[in-house]
């Protein structure tokens, strides 16, 4: 059995905030943000839009594309949603704190009546973790056939807009992929690429919990709950040790790509595109330099969207897919990192 990506979708709020506009509110500049991160703008969800709304829009896009491109034997995206076996939503910014899982709101809105639904929290690595989780669940039971994997975030809601060290980095958005299990042979490790089969070939996942404090929302959880009568100056927000995260990111991106190359006997010429988590162009440039991989191999869109955490890789996948930049048979690598600290990558034949 093989796991094929049969549709992609994305949702990005229409409100766009450029670096220049941000610099009117805090002590920063377009020049500093661009030169240190490669970011030029971010999209921010209005108060009326939550993570589940963005997730549903991206999911509907993926279902519609799967139908339009005749990738599945259905002609109606709504009927296709009814056939889903489960939905996995990667997010750090749920609609409601802890309960209910945001994915259940998504399941309800999509009319995916028979789908089980779960949220997965691995910070910015959530999409990479989620697609592997969905694939494993599909392969675990012959009765399961179809799944949706979504990465969606409203990071603007957990951003301290007075902290120039973090607020320039983040944006809101969602991306989704529709997965279908199809007939085919599951190879031994090391054979996935040589077999020529399409779909999700293999995944690398990892975590280094010793770095838990380097990217953190300190208040609101069971360690530091809000107390009755306490005055809140700033809502729960992300704090970051930028240098530590930067060094970790360059290391794990380099190692993950190297591991795929070595274990699957690949050269960079075999890879059509690398789709990294869109946190900082300098991180990608540093990893590319270490690996001697030309910059053009990496697909970057943080200039427009900034870092949308779990949404960044599926948004990029959808952009590449819809613009015809992915051809049937192309080998692609996704690679990412995030709070936890977590990291990972997927090797996919399109
Ligand atoms: N605008 C203007 N100046 C800024 C600024 C901003 N938005 N943010 C920080 N600065 C200033 C600092 O105050 C510092 O000034 P000082 O030298 O007078 O103290 C100076 O710029 C350099 O700060 P520094 O933190 O050393 O910058 P940096 O080159 O390390 O870049 C990050 C900072 C955050 C861009 C970088 O560390 C990074 O990208 N880290 C990884 C973050 C990440 O990917 N997070 C998401 C993980 S999923």
DSSP labels, 147-163: EEEEEEEEGGGG--TT-
pLDDT for residue 186: 67
């409601």: which residue's tokens? 96
Q: Which fold has domain 1-350?
A: Peroxisomal Thiolase; Chain A, domain 1 (3.40.47)
The mean predicted confidence, pLDDT, of the chain is 95
Which region, left, alpha or beta, applies to residue 340 given φ > 0 means left and ψ of -120 to 50 means alpha?
A: left
**Does 124 participate in catalysis according to the annotation?**
yes
Residue 211: the pLDDT is 98
Ligand 1 centre to CA of 36 (Å) is 7
CA 198 to CA 98: how far, in whole Å? 36
Q: Which residue has the higher pLDDT, 184 or 240?
A: 240
Mean pLDDT of all residues in 69-87:
92
The arithmetic mean of pLDDT across residues 140-144, rounded, is: 95
Q: Are 333 and 255 in contact (CB under 8 A)?
A: no
The answer to whether the CB of 23 is under 6 A from ligand 1 is no
Provide the 8-state DSSP code for 112.
-
70 band by pLDDT with thresholds 50, 70 and 90: confident
Rounded to the nearest angstrom, the distance between the alpha carbon of 240 and the centre of ligand 1 is 10
Residues sharing a CB contact under 8 Å with residue 287, sequence separation 6 or more, in sequence order: 249, 250, 253, 254, 257, 276, 293
pLDDT at 218 over 80: yes
Band (103; pLDDT cuts 50, 70, 90): very high
What's the confidence (pLDDT) of residue 176?
98
- Which sequence spans correspond to the domains of the chain? 1-350
CA distance 195 to 215: 40
- 170 forms beta bridges with 307
Instruction: Quote the pLDDT of residue 185.
Output: 72
Q: Is the peptide bond before 341 cis (omega within 30 degrees of 0)?
A: yes
- Per-residue pLDDT at 188 exceeds 80: no
pLDDT of 286 above 90 = yes
Q: Which atom of ligand 1 is nearest to the CA of 124?
A: 48
**CA 165 / ligand 1 centre spacing (Å):** 5
| CA–CA dist 256, 26 (Å, integer) | 36
Share of the chain above pLDDT 70, in %: 99
What pLDDT, on the 0 to 100 scale, is given for residue 113?
Answer: 97
Extended beta strands in the chain, E state: 2-11, 16-18, 41-43, 86-90, 116-120, 146-154, 172-182, 199-207, 215-217, 238-240, 273-276, 331-338, 342-349
Q: What pLDDT is recorded for position 187?
A: 67
pTM, to two decimals: 0.96
- Cα(265)–Cα(262) distance, integer angstroms: 5
Place of tokens 């360690």: 223
Report residue 318 as tokens: 């959808």
Average pLDDT (103-115) is 98
Name the catalytic one among 103, 104, 124, 167. 124
d(CA 241, CA 140): 39
Residue 118 has pLDDT above 70, yes or no: yes
pLDDT above 80 (res 199): yes
């Amino acid at each position: 059995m093989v796991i094929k990506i049969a549709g992609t979708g994305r949702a990005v709020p229409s409100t766009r905030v450029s670096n220049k506009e941000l610099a009117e509110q805090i002590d920063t500049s377009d020049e500093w943000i661009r030169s240190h991160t490669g970011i030029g703008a971010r999209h921010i969800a209005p108060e009326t839009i939550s993570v589940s709304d963005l997730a549903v829009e991206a999911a509907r896009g993926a279902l519609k594309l799967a139908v339009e491109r005749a990738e599945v034997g259905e002609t109606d995206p709504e009927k296709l949603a009814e056939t889903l076996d489960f939905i996995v939503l990667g997010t750090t910014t749920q609609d409601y704190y802890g309960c209910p899982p945001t994915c259940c709101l998504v399941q309800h809105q999509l009319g995916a009546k028979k789908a089980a639904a779960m949220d997965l929290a691995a910070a910015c690595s959530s999409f990479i973790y989620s697609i592997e989780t969905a694939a494993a669940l599909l392969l675990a039971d012959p009765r399961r056939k179809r799944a949706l994997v979504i990465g969606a975030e409203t990071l603007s809601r957990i951003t301290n807009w007075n902290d120039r060290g973090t607020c320039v980095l983040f944006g809101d958005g969602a991306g989704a992929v529709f997965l279908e299990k199809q007939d085919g042979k599951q190879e031994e490790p090391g054979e996935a690429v040589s077999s020529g089969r399409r779909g999700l070939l293999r995944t690398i996942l990892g975590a280094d919990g010793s770095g838990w404090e380097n990217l953190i929302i300190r208040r609101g959880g069971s360690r530091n709950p809000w107390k009755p009568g306490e005055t809140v100056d700033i809502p729960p927000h992300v704090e970051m040790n930028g240098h530590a995260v930067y060094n970790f990111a360059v290391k794990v991106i380099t190692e993950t790509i190297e591991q795929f190359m070595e274990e699957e006997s690949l050269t960079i010429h075999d890879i059509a595109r690398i789709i990294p988590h869109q946190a900082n162009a300098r991180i990608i440039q540093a990893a590319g330099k270490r690996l001697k991989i030309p910059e053009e191999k990496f697909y970057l869109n943080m200039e427009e969207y900034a870092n949308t955490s779990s949404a960044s890789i599926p948004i990029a996948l959808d952009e590449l897919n819809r613009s015809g930049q992915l051809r049937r048979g192309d080998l692609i690598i996704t690679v990412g990192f995030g709070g936890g600290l977590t990291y990972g990558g997927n090797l996919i034949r399109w």
